[in-house]
Structure 1
Amino acid sequence: MPGGSDQFGHDVDRRMALAREWDELVEQVRAIEGFEDFLQPPRLETLLPAAKGGPVIIVNVSRWRCDALIVTPGGVDVVELPELRQDTVVDQVQAYLDAVTTRQVATLRGTRRDMDATVSSDTVEAALDRCLQWMWDAFAERILDRLEHNKGGGRRIWWCPTGPLTLLPIHAAGYHRSPGRSVLDRAVSSYTPTLRALVAARAEPREQGGAPGRMLFVGMPDTPGQAPLPNVDTERDLLHERFDGACTELIGERATRDAVLAGLVNHRWAHFACHGEQDLADPSRGGVLVHDGQLTVADLSSQQYQGEFAFLSGCKTAVGGANLPDEAITLAAALHYTGYRHVIATLWSVWDDEAAEVADNVYGAIVRDGVLHADEAAAALHHATRALRDRHRNAPSVWTPFTHTGP
């Protein structure tokens, strides 16, 4: 045996010394403020502040059982979900993705009239409607009943889905032709990728960097291989009006990857009016399409911002990955993780007219005297979405994609 017993004893001593050194280094890290839980599961008391503004609902999906964990400042309430099954969730998600893909084909043609000419809009809308109703029956109604959210629609809740549910529009669950039987009728919904992310977003904002009181506008009216976005100019004009001209423009050829990344560092508010792409097999490769290519989730995650608000008026900016559903790696989540406290995004392709309308309504509610009040973003989006829903109850593809992530 090469080395003999002496070498063996030396190797054992060396490994024991390295183990002691590792333990000492971990203890040093845990002594640093903010790193007390380094390499440990977080303590419950450090996560409960996430629910300071309202309950956070973690919907857990597994092959053994499914439950909702309702997190409040006082603790965690478990709601059993016997109607929710992992195999059914997978089937529903697949049907939903099929409908969304069909919807995307029509959107690339540019208008809802084109959709009627290329695919059956009734078929797409019916598939989306079935998904919304299934979510209501399987878990949403039971959860809201436990919360006693059965009157009005002004109370805040945060959804933290897991597994394949990360791909579905839980905020839109319900029977929208029956008043009061939907999440939209009972609560103002937001999303959070994790409890820790929400705790961090609720912390007192750091000293704001970047250009004070300026909006960064990134617009791509024409993108190779994509439908034109004629309302980019409309969105730009409405922002100039709301912010009294305090708006930095990166449009067309000026909207390069480097320019956008630099702009995000120097602006607290950002608005993207461009197409987006999502790679369901590799979510980190998804992103928004700018002049010289794609600004990816990985690009955005490479640096830290001090932003308050981002509006992603693009396609598929909040869709996660099919093969990694427990990892909420979306463009919206990436911006949120890296410093933008509030992010409005879209789950799938949206019609250009409706995107501009929602943007106008949201900014009309949260911008006063050129100042953006980001903490009002969730309620503003909720009311804008309800207004669209009330006009298009039979067309959920029009109003279900819009989401809010943040405190």
Structure 2
Amino acid sequence: MCPFSAEVTVGFDVGMTPGTPDRYAQDVDRRMALAREWDELVTQARAIDGFEDFLRPPRAERLLPAGDEGPVVIVNVSRWRCDALVVAGSGAEVDVVQLPELTQADVVTHVQAYLDAVGARQSDALRGARDAEVTISSADLEADLDRCLLWMWDAFARPVLDHLRLHGPRDGVWPRIWWCPTGPLTLLPIHAAGRHDVPGESVLDRVISSYTPTVRALIDARSAPVEPEPGRMLFVGMPQTPGQAALPNVEREQTLIESFLGASCTPLIGEAATRDRVLIGLSEHGWAHFACHGEQNLADPSTGGLLLHDGPLTVTDLGSGQHGGEFAYLSGCKTAVGGVNLPDEAITLAAALHYTGYRHVIATLWSVWDAEAAQVAADVYEAMVTDGVLHAERAAEALHHAVRALRAARRDRPSVWTPFAHTGP
């Protein structure tokens, strides 16, 4: 909000009959006066230090530095044409990569097929079923996901990476890329696109992927002050949640994190994991790990949340405060998926924590098996923690290698290793 206020003083004669020429003329005068007053208020706001661009679109020179540490790719979908806009860094023009194989109709078709496939598996995962009990055959699910990953690779991921000459690590250093999808593409695992039976023909084989809800959000995350001293970890665990499958590996994740961080870890488990205590804990800890169920309403994603002892901690709840944290790990279900009614709005649990100050967020796109979630967490923390200190800047690379290891072990099961995603710088 602007640090000033004003009153609108223009009125009209309530005694005049609506629809008469005099009343019509007075309404026109009133609207013109209000428009002038609005312009004056906006001018006053822009004269305040820090509000120079109030209600203006961000200037290109402010957005271009987002690509200084690696390209930021905005994939734009429309009924007329589809392109990737590449922000490559300061001093560079925004590069346009035409995507003739990407159409709005294909996007809608593939997104719907993807949602149908993972929706059935989510029902199975939430009730604790494994392969012998699932309502959708494993072969059908994996085939549907494979088709989606291959389509994304051919339609836009490979053309973009080829254009940028990103073909894998050089001298042992992996290149970075940030995806900023729009429209229905916000629901898809772009970081896992590829032909995974051919070496080098997937995003995972070529780059370390991260997501950003907007280009400005990435710039803000990079410019946020880094915590100068070793932080503390808030661990929130719900081994048992009414109406949900049990999560027996919560204790495993807690033991793992405490083995790395020791007394720097504050646990809130079961009955202790209430909404109020978690919100207070978030304000007092620079790191947070949630080992609990999550849920998302694709029609109203702001109501999605993490299922705690006394109810869900929603996107709205998280977005109402500022936490200033370094790292958050959401080991729950569906914590990085948005909505279908407003697909350009980055309203997910991951985005909510990112916007409220957590610079690095690891989350899942759909329901994941408890054992695989625990294994990925173990690999990630082993790579991120040194001498009892968590290095949040390693999050994207740590997750990248953890997912590649899981893919190597379960290459024929993309549903196992595809859901994990990193948001942040």
TM-score with structure 2 setting the length: 0.91
What is the Cα deviation at residue 212 of structure 1?
5.5
Q: C-alpha separation between the residues in 2 aligned to 1:110 and 1:227?
A: 5
User: Cα deviations across residues 1-50 of structure 1 (Å, max 9, x unaligned)?
Assistant: 93788777766555444333322221222123332221111111111121
In structure 2, relative to structure 1, the CA distance for the partners of 1:17 and 1:52 (3 Å cut) is same
Is the CA contact (8 Å cut-off) linking 2:227 and 2:326 kept in structure 1? no
User: Cα deviations across residues 337-378 of structure 1 (Å, max 9, x unaligned)?
Assistant: 111100000000011111111111111111111111111100
1:38 and 2:59 equivalent? no
Of residues 349, 353, 356, the one that matches 1:338 is: 356
The residue that corresponds to 1:54 in the other structure is: 70
Of residues 69, 83, 88, the one that matches 1:72 is: 88
The residue that corresponds to 1:200 in the other structure is: 220
The residue that corresponds to 1:155 in the other structure is: 175
Secondary structure of 1:388's partner? helix
Secondary structure of 1:243's partner? helix
Q: C-alpha separation between the residues in 2 aligned to 1:134 and 1:338?
A: 34
In structure 2, relative to structure 1, the CA distance for the partners of 1:7 and 1:400 (3 Å cut) is closer
Q: What letter corresponds to residue 246 of structure 1 in structure 2?
A: S
Is the CA contact (8 Å cut-off) linking 1:212 and 1:267 kept in structure 2? no
The residue that corresponds to 2:313 in the other structure is: 295
Is the CA contact (8 Å cut-off) linking 1:106 and 1:114 kept in structure 2? no
Q: C-alpha separation between the residues in 1 aligned to 2:22 and 2:363?
A: 63
Of residues 281, 284, 289, the one that matches 1:271 is: 289
Q: C-alpha separation between the residues in 2 aligned to 1:6 and 1:98?
A: 59
The residue that corresponds to 2:333 in the other structure is: 315
Secondary structure of 1:69's partner? strand
Q: RMSD over aligned Cα, in angstroms? A: 1.9
Secondary structure of 1:357's partner? helix
Is the CA contact (8 Å cut-off) linking 1:316 and 1:346 kept in structure 2? yes
Q: C-alpha separation between the residues in 2 aligned to 1:204 and 1:258?
A: 26
The residue that corresponds to 2:272 in the other structure is: 254
Q: C-alpha separation between the residues in 2 aligned to 1:107 and 1:398?
A: 11
Q: What letter corresponds to residue 147 of structure 1 in structure 2?
A: L
Secondary structure of 1:189's partner? strand
Q: What letter corresponds to residue 138 of structure 1 in structure 2?
A: A
Q: C-alpha separation between the residues in 1 aligned to 2:99 and 2:148?
A: 17
In structure 2, relative to structure 1, the CA distance for the partners of 1:225 and 1:6 (3 Å cut) is closer
Q: C-alpha separation between the residues in 2 aligned to 1:107 and 1:382?
A: 24
The residue that corresponds to 2:142 in the other structure is: 125
Of residues 40, 49, 53, the one that matches 1:24 is: 40
User: Cα deviations across residues 131-166 of structure 1 (Å, max 9, x unaligned)?
Assistant: 000100111110000010124381000000001100
What is the Cα deviation at residue 204 of structure 1?
4.0
The residue that corresponds to 2:203 in the other structure is: 183
Identity of aligned residues (%): 70
Unaligned runs of 5+ in 1: none
Q: C-alpha separation between the residues in 2 aligned to 1:402 and 1:364?
A: 17
Q: What letter corresponds to residue 131 of structure 1 in structure 2?
A: C
Unaligned runs of 5+ in 2: 1-14
What is the Cα deviation at residue 75 of structure 1?
2.1
Of residues 299, 302, 308, the one that matches 1:281 is: 299
Q: What letter corresponds to residue 199 of structure 1 in structure 2?
A: I
Secondary structure of 1:213's partner? coil
The residue that corresponds to 2:403 in the other structure is: 385
Is the CA contact (8 Å cut-off) linking 2:83 and 2:96 kept in structure 1? yes
Secondary structure of 1:375's partner? helix
Secondary structure of 2:343's partner? coil
In structure 2, relative to structure 1, the CA distance for the partners of 1:25 and 1:92 (3 Å cut) is same
1:328 and 2:346 equivalent? yes
In structure 2, relative to structure 1, the CA distance for the partners of 1:10 and 1:90 (3 Å cut) is closer
Is the CA contact (8 Å cut-off) linking 2:121 and 2:135 kept in structure 1? no
In structure 2, relative to structure 1, the CA distance for the partners of 1:162 and 1:207 (3 Å cut) is same
Q: C-alpha separation between the residues in 2 aligned to 1:61 and 1:293?
A: 37
After TM superposition, the structure 1 stretch with the greater mean CA deviation from structure 2, 320-329 or 23-32, is: 23-32
How many residues matched?
404
In structure 2, relative to structure 1, the CA distance for the partners of 1:5 and 1:185 (3 Å cut) is closer
Secondary structure of 2:289's partner? strand
Q: C-alpha separation between the residues in 1 aligned to 2:126 and 2:319?
A: 28
Q: C-alpha separation between the residues in 1 aligned to 2:261 and 2:54?
A: 43
The residue that corresponds to 2:187 in the other structure is: 167
User: Cα deviations across residues 276-325 of structure 1 (Å, max 9, x unaligned)?
Assistant: 10000001011110001111101111111110000000000011101211
The residue that corresponds to 2:231 in the other structure is: 213
After TM superposition, the structure 1 stretch with the greater mean CA deviation from structure 2, 136-145 or 319-328, is: 319-328
User: Cα deviations across residues 323-343 of structure 1 (Å, max 9, x unaligned)?
Assistant: 211112100001001111000
Q: C-alpha separation between the residues in 2 aligned to 1:261 and 1:278?
A: 19
Q: C-alpha separation between the residues in 2 aligned to 1:354 and 1:376?
A: 21
In structure 2, relative to structure 1, the CA distance for the partners of 1:174 and 1:6 (3 Å cut) is closer
